[in-house]
Amino acid sequence: MKLPLPIFSKPYHLRDYRFNLVLTVFALSVIGVLAVGSAKAVNQPKQMMGVAIGLIIMAITSLIDYVWITDFYWLIYLFSVVILGAVLVIGDNVNGATRWIDLGFTTFQPSELAKILLILFFAKFIAEHEDDINDAATLVKYAILSGIPLVLIVIEPNLSTTICTTLVLCLLIYVGGLSYRFIGTVLVILIPVVVIFLAIVVQPNQFILKDYQQKRILAFLNPEEYASDEGYQQKNSVMAIGSGQLTGKGLNNNTTTSVKNGNFILEPQTDFIFAIIGEELGFTGSCIVIALLLLTVIQCIVIGTRSQNLTGKIIGCGVGGLIGFQSFINIGVATQLLPNTGVPLPFVSYGLTSLVSLYIGIGLVLNVGLQPKKYQ
């Protein structure tokens, strides 16, 4: 059986449509809607709307040939840079950060969409330079093209998204064939640089990080000293997750000592949504969420490795890597394994831009899956 053919599509077959991936991300979204509703009921309708819009856009994107889309890769890159630059000019400043553009009916966070667009751009760019990916000229071009959007994100400031995006961009060029000799050389240089960087930023008069960013690192290194300040939310998050025990206290519970009812964590529906899941769904619910996220990452990577070309391989691995990195950082922060930094838990945290952008990414991966190697 063949699927309907939209403009710019190829003859797809229903048997190649990865419904298991769709079901996995939908299950995550359902858990997200329930958790967001329990954390802050007023946001649940908008989260449901985001899931509905995301599913529709995912379905449409999955039927549009990714090869045709990536033919416009320079326009995609230019659009990414423009929206990242626009937020610095017309964006709303909230708590010292300019990350959102007010659209009237909702807010738009360009950096979330830019992550997907940059995966598309660099997938095509790397494929175009497949034969000379390890040449100095190509690596310099890659560094410059990566640096421009990263600088725009970091000056918002949004260090957490910058780190996550950097990890994804490193993964893309690795998948594209970066030599292990070059990787080893970079690590030899990078490790001492990171050590020196950390030694500097913990000093009282450092000038590299914002004060709140420095305090988050210090709170991670000395949790007891900052237990009532920067480490307050993480400490309460860990206690909330532990208090859920095996099966949790239940969604929408009325326990006054809970995270949401006691206001022990600000905005629990976003960066600390995993604390809500741990407390209300317990160890069992937490493991289910982690398993679904892991399955999503694995399926994206497997689809990528079976792609008809390098572009599709990088798209699959890039989207899978993005979901994996964000999940690790979000859960690591909620469990105090990492310094406090704000990234959404994929398909679970509240936020329309993040949710819809990730569904676009899944749609692209599904289209890669619709064009396996046999269609070469």
State which H helix or E strand residue 93 sits in.
strand 92-94
CA atoms within 13 A on the CB side of 277: 29
Going by pLDDT thresholds of 50, 70 and 90, the confidence category of residue 8 is: low
- Kindly report, residue by residue over 172-217, the tens digit of the pLDDT: 999 999 998 888 888 888 888 878 877 776 677 776 666 766 666 7
For the ranges 45-54, 114-123, 163-172, 222-231, which has the lowest average pLDDT? 222-231
| For residue 24, pLDDT beyond 60 | yes
Q: Where are the domains of the chain?
A: 14-375
Going by pLDDT thresholds of 50, 70 and 90, the confidence category of residue 169 is: very high
Which pLDDT value is given to residue 218? 66
DSSP, collapsed to helix, strand or coil, labels residue 275 as helix
55 or 270: which carries more pLDDT confidence?
55
What's the mean pLDDT in 143-165?
91
Residues sharing a CB contact under 8 Å with residue 154, sequence separation 6 or more, in sequence order: 162
243 or 362: which carries more pLDDT confidence?
362
What is the C-alpha to C-alpha distance for residues 14 and 249, in angstroms, rounded to an integer? 42
Which pLDDT value is given to residue 376? 41
Which pLDDT value is given to residue 224? 57
CA atoms within 13 A on the CB side of 189: 5
| For residue 374, pLDDT beyond 60 | no
Work out the mean pLDDT of the chain and round it to a whole number: 86
Residues sharing a CB contact under 8 Å with residue 283, sequence separation 6 or more, in sequence order: 244, 245, 246, 247
Going by pLDDT thresholds of 50, 70 and 90, the confidence category of residue 151 is: very high
117 or 373: which carries more pLDDT confidence?
117
- Kindly report, residue by residue over 321-340, the tens digit of the pLDDT: 999 999 999 999 889 888 87
Contact 172, 130 (CB under 8 A): no
| For residue 375, pLDDT beyond 50 | no
Which pLDDT value is given to residue 225? 59
246 or 98: which carries more pLDDT confidence?
246
Going by pLDDT thresholds of 50, 70 and 90, the confidence category of residue 247 is: confident
For the ranges 168-172, 190-194, 282-286, 292-296, which has the lowest average pLDDT? 190-194
What's the mean pLDDT in 68-88?
94
113 or 203: which carries more pLDDT confidence?
113
| For residue 357, pLDDT beyond 60 | yes
| For residue 59, pLDDT beyond 90 | yes
Residues sharing a CB contact under 8 Å with residue 158, sequence separation 6 or more, in sequence order: 97, 99, 111
